[in-house]
């Protein structure tokens, strides 16, 4: 079952709207998350962020699908007039601790390798990104997030 509904979650500190999508951990999850985020950005007047957002959310959802035993993958999107922040959450259970998403540690991907560049790509496209956990309330959960948008001007 896929659910895409606006929810009453804590207020976005920059204002705006928040949405959540809960997906079963299947091979279709990255495509569904990508299409969901594309739709949100198009109606929220952020068409310039679509390509980067699609790449980043695809990477994070694919990592959760391929490298964890999580039954559900959750995508939380906060959109305001300047930025979009996307958080992807899994319930943990990494299949291979060396490949679990949320880590940049380990050997770099060589030029001939197909895998291993995803979080470097997210880092290069995002204004900010990071990882976290579910804390005491949801032990074992992993959260990886990124923010896209216009950088703040400094004076």
Chain position carrying tokens 């300047």: 82
pLDDT at 2: 43
Of 3-7, 51-55, 128-132, 141-145, give the range with the top mean pLDDT. 51-55
Whether the CB-CB separation of 36 and 20 falls below 8 Å is answered with no
Radius of gyration of the chain (CA): 15
Chain position carrying tokens 């957002």: 53
pLDDT at 26: 97
pLDDT band at 137 (very low <50, low <70, confident <90, very high): confident
> What 3-state class would DSSP assign to 145?
strand
Q: What is the pLDDT of residues 20-71, one digit of tens each?
A: 999 999 999 999 999 999 999 999 889 999 999 999 999 999 999 999 999 9
Q: Give backbone dihedrals phi and psi of 141, rounded to 5 degrees, phi first.
A: -75, 145
CA atoms within 13 A on the CB side of 92: 9
Sign of the Cα torsion 107, 66, 93, 146 reads positive
Q: Is the pLDDT of residue 124 over 80?
A: yes
Mean pLDDT of the chain: 80
Bridge partners for 72 per DSSP: 24
Bridge partners for 94 per DSSP: 68
Structural domains in the chain, sorted by start: 3-7+16-102+115-149 (3.30.565.10)
Q: Is the pLDDT of residue 75 over 70?
A: yes
């Amino acid at each position: 079952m896929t659910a895409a509904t606006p929810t009453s979650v804590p207020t976005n500190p920059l204002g705006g709207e928040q949405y959540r999508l809960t997906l079963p951990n299947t091979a279709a999850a990255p495509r569904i998350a990508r299409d969901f985020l594309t739709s949100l950005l198009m109606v929220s007047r952020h068409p310039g962020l679509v390509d980067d957002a699609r790449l980043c959310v695809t990477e994070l959802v694919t990592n959760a699908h391929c490298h964890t035993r999580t039954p559900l993958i959750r995508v939380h999107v906060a959109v305001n007039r300047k930025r979009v922040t996307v958080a992807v959450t899994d319930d943990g259970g990494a299949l291979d601790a060396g490949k679990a998403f949320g880590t940049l540690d380990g050997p770099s991907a060589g030029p001939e390798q197909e895998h291993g560049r995803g979080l470097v790509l997210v880092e290069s496209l995002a204004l900010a990104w990071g990882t976290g956990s579910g804390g005491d309330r949801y032990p074992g959960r992993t959260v990886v997030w990124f923010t896209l948008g216009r950088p703040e001007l400094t004076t």
